[in-house]
């Protein structure tokens, strides 16, 4: 038996070797194929996860800018360390963490940084973006003028009008199925238009089907509202501006006694002196004689009732004339300062903005020097950078332009460093120069000329004296009323006072019966529309408007960071996304 077994084991077999070799080769191929399959699958998973991570990171960015649009004032929010500057979003198989911080001031424009890191599986993608608040040329809470305590009327853009400013109109809740921009005929919108409302009615109909071809640079819908309609936001900006203004340029004017309908004001007269230095004459404690019609139906001069959320309006005292203390020079109530003396910087986290002038008035402001005033040099010209904030109204009593080069189209050239900002919690209006001449009538019980003013005060003429008239109260504004400024109106609309309504009121034009031109080169932000002029057969009054965006404002040249758009946008070169 042993021999038999031995005999069998002596046979040399090759099959086993062949099988083993074959198995090894096939195993190698199998492992290779598995490796490839694994690699392919990993590649697919990686691409899927990377895409998911990127989408999650982008969602975090969107969430962050949405949150920023809800804040009253981002700088104040960050300064206070408020909650919400970072957050987490979770999705199926992905998540992200985002963080908002202050990056720097570019000139006077704050730039923020959003870092959003998306995660999916083992992969991370980062969106690292610098953003800043958008600036619109002409932003409004509603395209309607107040006509009564609770009533408004639509303001139409009409046939033949050319609107060469980017436009932003907030969403108007009432009347959702009507357009929030009112159009008659074929006005031309040469710049982008941004609407807060949807393009479609609640029933899905296209509200804009018939007018889309009017918007030559496009129109966008469902955009964040301008926060000019939010009193708390405006107040927050005002507070920060006040706190950063030098104490010497914060004023709280008081009225002189002996005048009814008296309103406290500071008179600012910008000029460039004979040495080519930009200056401002500041007269504190001026007293404005106010006037208002006795019924809502007689006037368009309304402002928003504070605390009414922009839903109620009240007549306000318009500018008739003003006086100053007769001893203003001797007592230091009237001083001349170089504009660069008002310069301050806003700072955050050790980063400072470019210096710029700031003047804060807790009251009303009159801007403009009379053509026949005693100031030397070029009157009503601003040299250097300055922003004026008033808690009351700002009355514009003459043209106001910036010094320096202008383009052929009249706008300040890009190299021009001079700029003016006017911000009011009340209204900003062009005064009616006829008010100082008008006698009271039955229909218009005007206060009459300032022939008798309170003791210890003197009448301060504004606008320009009618050259052929011996009446010192006979004042005119130029036919082309040029305003080169960024205007922000928190308590109403931008416009002109005493525009006639029916048989009441009526402005004094440069040429009687002929509408003047209101030329704005800057930007306008207003809570609602204000009346500039009216037209119709035989009832023309006030101004024809010519508004142009001063695009330098987008570059952050205006001191004070007083922009109120709810939208935040990536800064130029501000978008970066990458793998971690």
Partner 1 sequence: MFAWMGNIVIKNKNLKMRSGVTLMELMMSMLISSILLLIVGVLIVSSAKGWQQNYDLAHKPILEQAAVASLTFASVGRMSNRSDYIVYNGTGSTFVPVISATPGQDTVVSGNAVEFRYWDVNLDTTDSQNLMDVSKTGTAYALFYLHNGKLKVDYGHYPPGGVPAGGGNKNNSNIRTVTLAENASAAPGCGAFSHTMVSGAGKGCVRINIVLTDPNDNKTIRISNSVLLRNKWPQ
Contact residues for partner 1 (CB under 8 A)? 3, 14-15, 18-19, 22, 25-26, 29-30, 32-33, 36-37, 39-40, 43, 103-104, 106-107, 109, 111, 130, 134-135, 166, 192, 209, 212-219, 351, 414, 551-552, 554-556, 569-577
Q: Name the minimum Å distance from CB 37 to partner 1.
A: 6
| Among the listed residues 239, 345, 238, the one whose alpha carbon sits nearest the alpha carbon of residue 559 | 345
Q: Name the minimum Å distance from CB 483 to partner 1.
A: 21
| Among the listed residues 404, 402, 399, 396, the one whose alpha carbon sits nearest the alpha carbon of residue 419 | 402
DSSP 90: E
Q: Name the minimum Å distance from CB 272 to partner 1.
A: 26
Q: Which is nearer to partner 1, 327 or 352 (CB)?
A: 352
Q: Name the minimum Å distance from CB 238 to partner 1.
A: 25
Q: Are strands 318-325 and 278-291 parallel, antiparallel or unpaired?
A: antiparallel
DSSP per-residue string spanning 266-321: EEEEEEE-TTS-EEEEEEEEEEEEEE--SSGGG---EEEPTTSTTS-EEE-PEEEE
| Among the listed residues 351, 296, 31, the one whose alpha carbon sits nearest the alpha carbon of residue 150 | 296
Helix, strand, coil % in the chain, rounded to nearest 5: 20, 40, 45
Q: What angle do CA 314, 196, 163 make, to 5 degrees?
A: 80
Q: Name the minimum Å distance from CB 111 to partner 1.
A: 7
Q: Which is nearer to partner 1, 135 or 496 (CB)?
A: 135
Q: Name the minimum Å distance from CB 18 to partner 1.
A: 6
Q: Which is nearer to partner 1, 178 or 206 (CB)?
A: 206
* Residues linked to residue 318 through DSSP beta bridges, in sequence order: 291
Q: Which is nearer to partner 1, 54 or 420 (CB)?
A: 54
Q: Which is nearer to partner 1, 130 or 266 (CB)?
A: 130
Q: Which is nearer to partner 1, 50 or 540 (CB)?
A: 50
Return d(Cα 99, Cα 78) in angstroms, integer: 12
Q: Which is nearer to partner 1, 169 or 268 (CB)?
A: 169
Q: What angle do CA 270, 167, 303 make, to 5 degrees?
A: 60
In whole angstroms, what separates CA 513 from the centre of its chain? Answer: 34
Q: Name the minimum Å distance from CB 129 to partner 1.
A: 8
């Amino acid at each position: 038996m042993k021999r038999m077994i031995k005999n069998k084991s002596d046979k040399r077999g090759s099959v086993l070797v062949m099988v083993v070799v074959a198995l090894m080769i096939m195993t190698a191929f199998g492992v290779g194929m598995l490796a490839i399959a694994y690699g392919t699958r990993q590649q697919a998973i990686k691409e899927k996860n990377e895409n998911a991570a990127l989408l999650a990171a982008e969602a975090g960015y969107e969430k962050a800018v949405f949150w920023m649009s809800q804040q009253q004032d981002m700088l104040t929010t960050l300064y206070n360390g408020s909650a919400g500057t970072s957050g987490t979003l979770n999705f199926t198989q992905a998540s992200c963490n985002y963080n908002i911080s202050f990056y720097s001031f570019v000139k006077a424009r704050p730039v923020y940084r959003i870092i959003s890191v998306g995660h999916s599986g083992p992969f991370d993608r980062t969106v690292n973006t610098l953003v800043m608040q958008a600036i619109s040329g002409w932003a409004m809470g509603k395209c309607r003028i107040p006509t009564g305590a609770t009533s408004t009327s639509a303001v139409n853009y009409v046939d033949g009008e050319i609107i060469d400013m980017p436009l932003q109109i907030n969403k108007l809740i009432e009347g959702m199925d009507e357009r929030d921009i009112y159009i008659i005929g074929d006005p031309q919108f040469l710049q982008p238009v941004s609407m807060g409302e949807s393009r479609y009615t609640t029933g899905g109909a296209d509200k804009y089907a018939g007018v889309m071809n009017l918007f030559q640079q496009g129109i966008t819908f469902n955009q964040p509202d301008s926060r000019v309609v939010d009193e708390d936001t405006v107040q927050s900006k005002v507070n920060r501006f006040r706190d950063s203004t030098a104490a010497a340029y914060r004023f709280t004017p008081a009225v002189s006694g002996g005048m009814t309908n008296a309103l406290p004001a500071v008179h600012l007269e910008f000029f460039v002196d004979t040495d080519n230095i930009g200056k401002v004459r500041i007269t504190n404690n001026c007293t404005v004689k106010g006037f208002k019609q006795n019924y809502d139906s007689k006037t368009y001069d309304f402002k928003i009732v504070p605390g009414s959320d922009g839903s109620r309006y009240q007549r306000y005292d318009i500018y008739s004339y003003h006086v100053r203390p007769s001893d203003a020079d001797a007592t230091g109530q009237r001083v001349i300062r170089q504009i660069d003396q008002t310069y301050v910087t806003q700072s955050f986290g050790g980063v400072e903005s470019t210096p710029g002038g700031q003047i804060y008035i807790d009251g009303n402001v009159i801007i403009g020097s009379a053509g026949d005033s005693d100031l030397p040099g070029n009157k009503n010209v601003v040299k250097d950078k300055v922003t004026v904030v008033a808690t009351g109204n700002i009355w514009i009593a003459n043209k106001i332009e910036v010094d320096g080069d202008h383009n052929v189209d009249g706008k300040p050239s890009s190299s021009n460093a001079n700029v003016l900002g006017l911000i009011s919690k009340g209204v900003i209006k062009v005064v009616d120069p006829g008010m100082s001449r008008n006698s009271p009538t039955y229909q218009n019980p005007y206060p009459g000329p300032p022939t008798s003013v309170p003791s210890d005060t003197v009448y301060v003429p504004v606008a320009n004296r009618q050259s052929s008239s011996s009446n010192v109260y006979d004042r005119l504004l130029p036919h082309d009323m040029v305003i080169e400024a960024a205007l922000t109106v928190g308590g109403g609309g931008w416009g002109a006072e005493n525009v006639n309504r029916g048989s009441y009121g009526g402005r004094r034009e440069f040429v009687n019966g002929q509408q003047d031109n209101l030329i704005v080169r800057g930007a306008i932000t207003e809570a609602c529309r204000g009346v500039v002029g009216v037209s119709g057969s035989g009832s023309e009054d006030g101004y024809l408007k010519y508004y142009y965006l001063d695009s330098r404002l987008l570059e952050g040249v205006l001191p004070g960071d007083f922009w109120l758009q709810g939208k935040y946008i990536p800064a130029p070169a501000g978008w970066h996304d990458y793998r971690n």
